[in-house]
A and B are shown apart, each in its own frame.
Chain A
C-alpha cells in the first residue's frame, strides 16, 4: 500500500518569511495530492491540491510542487502570517480508488 512521509513535524518561522513542508509517497499509481490545514479542535480544510498531470500549482500565497519521478511534493507558503499557524497534512490518493493516505502532519507556528 501507499506510504506517505511528511517533514518536518514542527516548523517555526518569523512572520513574513516562507515556510516549506515536504512529503514523499511510495506508490507511483497515486495521482492526487491534497494539502489540508487543521486548526486546533477544528476539521481539516482543503487548502490546495495538485494532480499528477501538472508540476506546480499556485493560489495566492500558497503553492504546491510535485516531482513524480522522485515521488515527492511540497507545500510552500510565502509571506507567512500568524493566522497561518496550524497543523498541515499532506495526502496521496488514486483516482481509481477511494483511499487517502495522510502524512503525520506538520505543526507550523508563525511568530509575530
Chain B
C-alpha cells in the first residue's frame, strides 16, 4: 500500500508554455500533499504544502503565481508551472501524507522538467 504516482515522468517544453504535473495517492486518501524541487546532488527543497479544499501554503521565495497548485480531491494535487523558462528546469517531486497515528510521507517518482 501507500503508492503515490506522478505524471508525466518527463516533459520537455518550449520557453513560455505552461506545464501541469499531477500527483495521485493511489490507495489512500491524503489531506496533505507536498511539492518539492530538487536540483542535482542537492536536498529536497519544499515549494509548497497542498491541502485538500483550501489554498496551498507556499514557502518563502516561491512565486505562487508561477507555480499554481490545486488540491481538488483527497487523492489528487496538481502543480502547474506557468510561462516556464529554462531556469525552471528541475526535478519536481510530490509527496502525500498518510494519516496513521503519526503522519507518514510517501513520495511520487518525480517529474523531470526541461524547458528549452
- Interface residues of chain A, those whose CB is within 8 Å of chain B, are 31-32, 34, 36, 41-46, 49, 51, 87, 89, 91, 93, 95, 97-100, 102-105, 107
Q: State which residues 74-104 of B face A: CB under 8 Å.
A: 91, 93, 95, 97, 101-104
- Interface residues of chain B, those whose CB is within 8 Å of chain A, are 32, 34, 41-44, 46, 49, 51, 91, 93, 95, 97, 101-110, 112
List the A side residues contacting B34 at CB < 8 Å. 100
Q: Given that A51-B102, A95-B103 are contacting pairs, would A43 and B108 also be in contact in the complex, using a CB cutoff of 8 Å?
A: yes
Interchain CB contact under 8 A, A31 and B102: yes
A85 to nearest B CB, angstroms? 14
Interchain CB contact under 8 A, A44 and B44: yes
Q: Given that A42-B110, A43-B110 are contacting pairs, would A98 and B43 also be in contact in the complex, using a CB cutoff of 8 Å?
A: no
Closest to B49 in A: A98
Given contact pairs A91-B105, A93-B103, a sample of 10 additional A-B residue pairs in the complex whose CB atoms are under 8 Å apart: A34-B104, A42-B109, A45-B107, A51-B102, A89-B43, A95-B101, A95-B103, A98-B49, A100-B105, A105-B43
Interchain CB contact under 8 A, A98 and B97: yes
Interchain CB contact under 8 A, B107 and A102: no
B48 to nearest A CB, angstroms? 12
List the A side residues contacting B105 at CB < 8 Å. 34, 46, 91, 93, 100
List the B side residues contacting A45 at CB < 8 Å. 107
Interchain CB contact under 8 A, B107 and A43: yes
Interchain CB contact under 8 A, B32 and A98: yes
Q: Given that A44-B107, A98-B49, A100-B34 are contacting pairs, would A105 and B102 also be in contact in the complex, using a CB cutoff of 8 Å?
A: no
Q: Given that A32-B102, A43-B93, A44-B93 are contacting pairs, would A89 and B44 also be in contact in the complex, using a CB cutoff of 8 Å?
A: yes
